[in-house]
Structures are given as structure tokens and as C-alpha cells.
A and B are shown apart, each in its own frame.
Chain A
Amino acid sequence: MSFFLSEIISGLSMTSILLMISLGLAIIYGTTGVINMAHGEFVMIGAYTSWILQTKFGMGLIASIIPIFLITALMGFLIERLIIRHLYNRLLDTILATWGIGVLLQQIVRLTIGSELKYLKIPTYMAESTTLFGQEVSIYRIFIFLFAVAIFFLAWFIIYRTSFGMRLRAVTQNKDMASSFGINSGMVYSSTFAFGTGVAALAGAFVAPLKSISPDMGTNYIIDAFMVVVLGGVESLIGTAASSLIIGESSSFLASFSNDTLAKALVLIMIIVILRFKPQGLFTKKIRS
């Protein structure tokens, strides 16, 4: 029994990391239809911003949440205004442009900060482990889980319970119709992109203390993020949460019965099989066609 419990808890930890990383991508893709290939690099930028704040300004992780979000949201806002907005409805061009932005960001970091692995500290009061349901769990992983849940509910609240969210949903359904109702669609798009970027950066800042920071860490994360979004279904927050849970828990259990390499392969096969039967993902919005 304790074996199952430890695997479930590990799975939840993986779920929370996947959820935080893919939430931004799901929101951006769902609203604007932009496939953001630079999403992994936004995660990386968040990690590096956290590192800069920690080493140059001595700020702890919790204290730097708001600054990281604001700095990277501003960066996302600028990228959207300068580059992405000219490429709506041109899917292949956005993929190419965002891929280029990703490469640019990676190399800028490499040229300015350097490519050595950097050290990000887990806050001391979270660096220990504690006992939960008879299992020893790292406090920091519990914190990440709670934070992921909080961010998820924050996003849900903004989208479904605020007037901004209503405008967002209107613009998602039909951009031009929404404009004709007096909604500033351009501003909505830019704000959404900024929000998605900020969430991705926070994910990077929180995940990095458990792993390491390098200029190309984004490439691994974007693969996971896309898997989650595609499996969960576009335009669906519940879908993102559900697919994070499925992928996280199955990775954990498969890895415990075999090893991580095989687990990764089996999870991919599982996703392919599910997509064969539900190509739009697990949760899709019903559209009257």
C-alpha cells in the first residue's frame, strides 16, 4: 500500500509541474490560436530571471514571484505587439516566427549570462522533507503542487468570472464579431499572451530549484507542454488539468514498474492511441458547425 501511495504522490508532483508549464501554452493557443514554439524559452527566461534576482539582488523565491511575473509578462506583451500580431491566421508563419524567437532568446541568454549550469536555491524552510500519509515527501514539491493548483484556479477565475474573461471568451469565439461589439480584441490578445508568458516564467522559476538551469532547458519542457495541451484538448482548462494528471500519474507508475526510459516511450504510445480515437483531445468544446 505504501508503495502505491509513494507513486501516487510522485505522480501528483509530476502533474503539478506539467500543469504549470502547459497552462500558459493552453491559454495562448486556446485564445489566439498561436502555436507558441518559444514557450519553452519563456520557462527558461523565468528560471534565469529568478536566478538574477536571487544572486544580484538577494531576493528569495517567494519575494520574487510578482517581479518575475511582471517582467516576463511585459516581455511577452512586447513580443506579441511587435511580432505575433502581424501573423494571425498565418499558422505556419507563426510557428516559424515563434521558433525563431525561441532560438534568439536562447542565444541571447547564452551570450550574456553564459552557458554554465547555474545554481538556484530552494528556500531553506522548504528544503527539508516531511511525512505525509506515512510517506516522506519533500516540502518543496508539496509547495509546487499547491502553487500549481492556485494558479490553475486563478486562471479559471479570471477566464470565467471576470469581465476581462468574458471579453476573452468572446474574442476566442469570433475575433471580428467581438470587435464589432466594441471589444478591443488586440488588447485582449496581447494581455492573454502576456499572461501565458508570465505563468510559464513562474513555472520555470519554481521548477528550476529542483533541477538545473541551462540555456537549452526549454526544449525539454516544450515537448511535455505540447503533449499535455494536445491530449487535453484546446480551449479547455479542465482538459489541461486532466491530461496533466493522466500523463503525470502514468509516467510515475510506469517508471516504478520498469524504468524512466521505457515509461516515457509507453506514455507517448498511450497518447498516440488516445488521439487516434479522440483527435481533438479529451475535452473539446462543442461547436455548432
Chain B
Amino acid sequence: MIKKKVVKLPNEKRRSFLTNSVKASVIGAAGAAFPHIWMKQGNVFAANNEIKVGVLFSLTGGLAIIEESLHKATMMAIEEINAAGGINGMKLKAIEADPASDPATFAAKARTLVIKDKCVTVFGSYTSASRKAVLPVFEKQNNLYFYPTLYEGRECSKNVIYTGAVPNQQQDEFIPYLVEKYGKRWSLIGSNYIYPKEENNYCKILLKKLGCEVLMEEYVPLGHSEFSSVVNKFKNDKPNVIFSTVVGDSVVALHKQYRAAGLNPDNMPMCSLTTSENEVAAMGGDAAAGHLTSAPYFMVHQSAENEKFVSAYKKRWGADKVTHFVSEPAYFGVYIFKQALEKIGAGDINPTSIMEACKGQELIAPQGKIRIDPDNLHTYLWPKIGICKSNGQFDIIKKTDNWLKPLPYAAYPDQTCTEKGLVQS
């Protein structure tokens, strides 16, 4: 076989090079002149006439106990909005992810939701650990996170809308009321992580102003359930008020063992920020009766919106379910999102424009009228004080006359969260 070798004459080579480069530049120019060939047409976040939002709550693992209810509240809000016709004719598409109670998984799932699934906003997190884990993702990708949980403050991110209470909202009314009603000798008990420590920090500032005495300040490991030595200390010290910031299973164990030891909540009540209808159901009315909680929302709150919310929740998820002060902010957070989108209207839908549109948004939430503070993206809330009854529900004994402005840096007077960011004075 004779191998045929095609030899190109120099002119031919030059000609073919020229034609090929002209072809390439024409295609390139066409691409540059008509960018939609490379990118999706129009708004990346509102493609196919649906708006993708992420729902990032643990459905497995230790935190599923509480985060399941947040997931349910968020999904119910999304379903209600879609059933009412969506927003500006577009439906919400919920992309759920289960981070399994592990902060590292929270960060990984957040990245997937934002980058791969192209969610314009994500609703999620209960613990501060998970929020701190996902924060870098939202700040780097310039996306938006709705965080519904009460937390310790000290954050000023422009990529998060905080619908939960911060220490000044939970304590400014609560602490003076307790000092007046019960006395000035206080014992502080909390779980060993940042939330109880910051709350106790703020509490001590208020107590000092009121001339009170802190007899004990102790922290137990997370998930700890053996409180016999703590209860012994209460018996020895005889404080007027026990300020409890233990969370999760520890709340139930502490209350049960307090009750079993025969202590009396009439003169030594346990006053907490974290005991909700959930924990009360698990400890039984007997162990819960007589203790106090401060929160912006209780299930028994009388208002038209709350009746609607509670009955819809029970109808959707079961008659034995309860709503509490973390599931209610999760619920109204989605409606704030809806209002922000309605304000944007036909404009460009992206996380930054939604964040800007959220500023100053007001709506009648189940707890009352709330407002997103434009300075720090936290929420004006209505703190209430509830005392638990033996039937497992709270009696609201004190309500504020007006909503309370959120001050995430209230315990640090030389720092303020402003619209520009954190300002040191």
C-alpha cells in the first residue's frame, strides 16, 4: 500500500489558517454580541417562572427534635404562598436539604443550595454553631439567609435576615420583672457554649444595675442530664431566682429533677429563655408548672393571625403538634421574603435586591406587627412573659405595650451594628 501523504503548499497552509481564524473570530464576536448564547436568558434566579429557595433544617441527628418543627413551619408557609397564587405570578420552589445536625454538613449543604441549585435565598439553622458554619458561604457567594432562632446577638452580617430575638429583647423586660417579684439573689445555670454565656453576660449587666447578687454561675456540658449536684447547690444557696439557659434535653432533665427534689417554684422559680411548649410537653405539666419563660411568642397568644397560624399548623401536621417561639419566626420569615419580592416586582431578583427590599418591611405576624430593622436586619419583636401551668400551656402574664428594637450589640456599648456594617466607637 502506498501511503498517500497530503502535502500542503505554503499558500494553502496560510489560507486554511486564515479561514479557520476568521471562523473562530466570527463565532466569538457573535457570542460576545449576543451573550444569552452563553448565559441563561434574563434572571438567573427566576428561571422557568419559579423562584428557588433553600430549606436547610436538620431532619436527622440530635437537633432534629427541634429543627423538624422549623422545617414544618417553613414548608407550610411556602405551600400557603403557592396555594394563594405565588408571588407576581411565580411559584416558590422549595429545595430541601438535611444537614443532619452537623455544622460541617450545614456548610456543605448550604454551598450546594446556593451554587449548584441556584437558590436565591435559604431559610435555615437553629444552633449558632450551624449559623456560624454557613455564614462564610452566604457572605462569599453574596446570597441571603433567613435565620429564625433566638440567639446571642453580636452579629452584623448583611447577608442574613435575623427573625429571632436577641438578648436585649428577651431580657430588658424580664429581668426587672423577676427582680421586683421574686428577689435579688440569683443563680445562673446554662449549657456550656456561646449562647448561654452571652445571655448570662447581658443578664449580669442588668442585675448589676438593679443591685442584685449573683450566687452561682455554672455551665454544664451540652446534653448533660444529671443535675443532682446542681439541685443540691440550689438547696444550699436558696436563691430567689434561677436563671436557666440550658438547652435541649437538659431543660427537661433539670426541671424533672428540680421537681423530684421537692423544690418550690413559688419562691425559687426557674426563669428561662429557652423553655418552649416543646420542652414542656416532654417534661410533663407537673414539672413545668410555676416556672417562667420570656419569649416574643407563645402558642396561647390571642390574635387573629395566631389563631389562623395554629389551626393551620395543626391541620397540616397533626392535632398534637405545638407551635413555639422558633417556629413562628420561621413562618413569618417566609412571608417577609414574599413581601420583599412583591416590592421588587418586575425588577431584578437577586439576593442583594431582596435583602434591600426586606429593610423596613412590616407585617402582622402571629405575635403582633413586626418590622425588619434597616440598620441591622434584625426584627422588632413583642417580648412577653409567660408562666407555665400544669396543663402544659403558658399563661401570658406580661406583655410589652410596644415592640422592642433589636440591639445585637447591647452588651457592648462601644460597638453598634449600622447599615454600613459594624461600627466601633
Output the least CB separation between B233 and chain A (Å).
Answer: 7
Which of A59-67, A135-143, A156-164, A228-236 lies at the binding interface?
A: A135-143
**B177-225 interface with A by 8 A CB criterion:** 192, 218-221, 223-225
Residues A260 and B61 in contact, CB atoms below 8 Å apart? no
A220 touches which one: B223, B230, B279, B284 (CB < 8 A)? Answer: B223
Residue B33 CB within 8 A of the other chain:
no
Residue in B closest to A118 when the chains form the complex, CB atoms:
B282
CA distance A223 to B236 in the complex (A): 31
- Chain A residues near B235: list those with CB within 8 A: 6, 136
Residues A261 and B220 in contact, CB atoms below 8 Å apart? yes
Size bin of chain A's contact surface: 35 or more
**A154-183 interface with B by 8 A CB criterion:** none
Residues A260 and B249 in contact, CB atoms below 8 Å apart? no
- Chain B residues near A260: list those with CB within 8 A: 218, 220-221, 224, 226, 229-230
- Chain B residues near A220: list those with CB within 8 A: 223, 225
CA distance A138 to B262 in the complex (A): 7
CA distance A122 to B257 in the complex (A): 11
Which of A26-34, A88-96, A193-201, A206-214 lies at the binding interface?
A: A206-214
Residue B232 CB within 8 A of the other chain:
yes
- Chain A residues near B224: list those with CB within 8 A: 260
Residues A117 and B64 in contact, CB atoms below 8 Å apart? no
- Chain A residues near B221: list those with CB within 8 A: 260-261, 264
Contacts A117-B278, A255-B229 known; A212 to B60 CB distance under 8 Å? no
A117 touches which one: B223, B230, B260, B282 (CB < 8 A)? Answer: B282
**B57-72 interface with A by 8 A CB criterion:** 60-62, 64-65, 68
- Chain B residues near A263: list those with CB within 8 A: 229
Q: Digit string of B246-286 for contact with A (CB within 8 Å is 1, else 0)?
A: 00010011001101111000000000000000110111101
Residues B233 and A256 in contact, CB atoms below 8 Å apart? yes
- Chain B residues near A6: list those with CB within 8 A: 232, 235-236
Residue B302 CB within 8 A of the other chain:
no
Residue B228 CB within 8 A of the other chain:
yes
Contacts A209-B256, A211-B249, A216-B62 known; A10 to B228 CB distance under 8 Å? yes
Residues A210 and B261 in contact, CB atoms below 8 Å apart? no
A138 touches which one: B62, B68, B261, B282 (CB < 8 A)? Answer: B261
- Chain A residues near B281: list those with CB within 8 A: 116-117, 119
Contacts A117-B65, A127-B260, A259-B218 known; A212 to B253 CB distance under 8 Å? yes
Supplied contacts A3-B236, A13-B228, 20 more A-B pairs, CB within 8 Å:
A6-B235, A6-B236, A7-B232, A116-B68, A117-B282, A118-B282, A127-B259, A138-B260, A138-B262, A209-B256, A211-B225, A211-B249, A212-B256, A213-B282, A214-B62, A216-B61, A256-B229, A260-B220, A261-B192, A261-B220
- Interface residues of chain B, those whose CB is within 8 Å of chain A, are 60-62, 64-65, 68, 192, 218-221, 223-226, 228-230, 232-233, 235-236, 249, 252-253, 256-257, 259-262, 278-279, 281-284, 286
What are 21 A-to-B residue pairs whose CB atoms are below 8 Å? A6-B236, A14-B226, A116-B281, A117-B249, A117-B252, A117-B278, A117-B279, A117-B281, A117-B282, A119-B282, A119-B284, A136-B262, A138-B260, A141-B260, A210-B257, A211-B253, A212-B252, A220-B225, A252-B229, A259-B218, A264-B221
